[in-house]
């Protein structure tokens, strides 16, 4: 299974600022996914980050709000821009295992916007 | 659009009981279904993966079944323990490995 780390583990940010979340995987993967879990809700896919191409965003999520970088096959960043209290969530990255069957998740970044 | 529902939303059982968690999905065109466990303040731990061609998978005290045609899966936990207390999530995989998650079942196993 893949070992995934995220930084920061948690942060408290002020409204209007931006936060960049890092995701590091211990093996090379073609796809990385970013999910959001709002308080009391389940996980929702934000976007798919592919190395060498622009990220693909799900309905309701836009690049200006959640820019994503994927500089290599083991690393990705998600930026939450111009934050509002509604952005308070846990943000998780994930990668598919061999054969793209099972998926593995990072520990998450707990973001609170005041 | 795929929708995944889990019943019950919350469950409290005494230690030692066997229990069943339910997951239903609206679109049967899935590649696989995965059950996760989420502990407070932590990420997701994969418990079981069932391919669309399979009917069930077992790991220790856990057994998951899949009826793709009816859009249902169950997670059976035998002889529950306090350490099983967590939120259990099911997720179905559509195209390009994207997961659609259920609403979750919060389980509390009491002494």
What pLDDT is recorded for position A100?
62
State the smallest CA–CA distance between residue A15 and chain B in angstroms.
23
Distance of alpha carbon B63 from the chain centroid: 10
Is there a contact between B46 and A104 if contact means CB atoms under 8 Å apart? yes
Q: Are A24 and A74 in contact (CB under 8 A)?
A: yes
What is chain A's mean pLDDT, rounded? 93
- Strand ranges inside B1-111, DSSP E: 4-7, 10-14, 19-25, 32-38, 44-51, 56-59, 62-67, 72-77, 86-93, 99-101, 105-110
Contact A103 B98 (CB under 8 A): no
Contacts of A33 in chain B (CB under 8 A): 97-99
| Cross-chain Cβ contact B96/A104 below 8 Å | no
Residue A31 CA from chain centroid, whole number: 12
pLDDT digits (tens, 9 = 90+) for A4-30: 999 999 999 999 999 999 999 999 998
CA distance B88 to chain A (A): 10
């Amino acid at each position: 299974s893949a070992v995934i780390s995220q930084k920061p583990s948690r942060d408290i940010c002020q409204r209007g600022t931006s936060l960049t979340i890092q995701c590091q995987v211990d093996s090379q993967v073609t796809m990385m996914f970013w999910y959001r879990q709002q308080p009391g809700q389940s996980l929702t896919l934000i976007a798919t980050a592919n190395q060498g191409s622009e990220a693909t965003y799900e309905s309701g999520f836009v690049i200006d709000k959640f820019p994503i970088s994927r500089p290599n096959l083991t690393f990705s960043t998600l930026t939450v821009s111009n934050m509002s209290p509604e952005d308070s969530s846990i943000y998780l990255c994930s990668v598919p295992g061999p054969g793209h069957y099972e998926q593995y998740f990072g520990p998450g970044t707990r973001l609170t916007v005041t | 659009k795929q929708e995944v529902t889990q019943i019950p939303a919350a469950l409290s059982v005494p230690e030692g009981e066997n229990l069943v968690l339910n997951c239903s999905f609206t679109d049967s065109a899935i590649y696989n279904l995965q059950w996760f466990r989420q502990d407070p303040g932590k990420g997701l731990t994969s418990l079981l993966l069932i391919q669309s061609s399979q009917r069930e998978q077992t790991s220790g005290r856990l057994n998951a079944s899949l009826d793709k045609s009816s859009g249902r899966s169950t997670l059976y936990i035998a002889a529950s323990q306090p350490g099983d207390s967590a939120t259990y999530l099911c997720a179905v995989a559509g195209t390009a490995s994207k997961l659609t998650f259920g609403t979750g079942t919060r389980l509390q196993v009491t002494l």
